[in-house]
């Protein structure tokens, strides 16, 4: 038997700010690049550990996370 549902977990996003760059067509603005998405899980021993789940997300979803981070910094 199977049951499909959705769950929400807290994750930690690690990112870099890439500086603006000059290109032949003009200037590219500074960009944000997510490098890791970490989920903390607790194993049978009770010891928590972090698991990198970045590869579990599509590039589109990662771009949405990047937009969310940028928006949160613009509001502050």
pLDDT of residue 16: 95
Q: Over the stretch 18-68, which tens digit does the pLDDT of each residue have?
A: 888 887 778 888 889 999 999 999 989 999 999 999 999 999 999 999 999
Contacts of 18 (CB under 8 A, 6+ apart): 30, 31, 32, 33
Within 10 A of 20 (CB to CB), how many other CB atoms are there?
Answer: 9
Q: Rounded to two decimals, what is the model's pTM?
A: 0.77
Q: Are 21 and 28 in contact (CB under 8 A)?
A: yes
pLDDT of residue 41: 95
């Amino acid at each position: 038997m199977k049951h499909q549902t959705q769950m929400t977990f807290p994750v930690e996003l690690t990112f870099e700010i890439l500086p603006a760059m000059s290109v032949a067509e003009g200037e590219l603005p500074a960009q944000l690049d997510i490098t890791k998405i970490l989920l903390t899980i607790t194993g049978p021993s009770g010891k928590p550990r972090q698991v990198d789940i970045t590869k579990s997300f599509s590039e589109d979803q990662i771009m949405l996370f990047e937009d969310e981070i940028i928006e949160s910094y613009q509001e502050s």
